[in-house]
């Protein structure tokens, strides 16, 4: 995209929209009552979407499967997160697992 004014206009529109949505949440929170069931469904939907994103990123590479090393690293990171390990340890262990397996020749 070489049209700089159009790009700047798109950025400005997105910035105004983002600010408006962030401002509308606290401003309108007292006016609307969200039922407990809907709050539970929204929480479950967030978990499902995050799980789908992690699965897609971990199991695919472009148009094909990612191999074994990446999903294994994600699995190690997931187990450590479930055990409530520090975030830095989770990231380092997951990366080290994937890198170690790739160093051993595992795809």
- What residues contact 85, with CB distance under 8 A and at least 6 apart? 93
Is a pLDDT exceeding 60 seen at residue 1? no
Instruction: Note the pLDDT of residue 94.
Output: 96
Residue 61 forms beta bridges with which residues? 64
CA geometry: angle 98, 104, 107, nearest 5 deg: 60
Is a pLDDT exceeding 60 seen at residue 55? yes
Instruction: Note the pLDDT of residue 84.
Output: 96
Neighbours of 81 (CB within 10 A): 14
Is a pLDDT exceeding 90 seen at residue 29? no
Q: What is the value of pTM for the model shown?
A: 0.63
pLDDT in tens, 87-103: 999 999 999 999 999 99
Q: Quick one: average pLDDT of 23-31? A: 86
Neighbours of 72 (CB within 10 A): 17
């Amino acid at each position: 995209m070489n049209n700089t004014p159009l790009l700047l206009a798109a950025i400005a529109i997105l910035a105004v929209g983002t600010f408006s949505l962030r401002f509308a949440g606290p401003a309108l929170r007292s006016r609307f009552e969200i039922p407990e069931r809907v709050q539970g469904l929204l929480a479950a939907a967030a978990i499902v979407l995050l799980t789908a994103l992690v699965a897609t990123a971990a199991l695919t590479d472009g148009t094909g499967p990612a191999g074994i090393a990446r999903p294994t690293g994600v699995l190690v990171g997931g187990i450590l997160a479930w055990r409530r390990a520090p975030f830095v340890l989770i990231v380092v262990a997951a990366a080290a697992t994937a890198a170690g397996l790739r160093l051993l020749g595992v795809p």
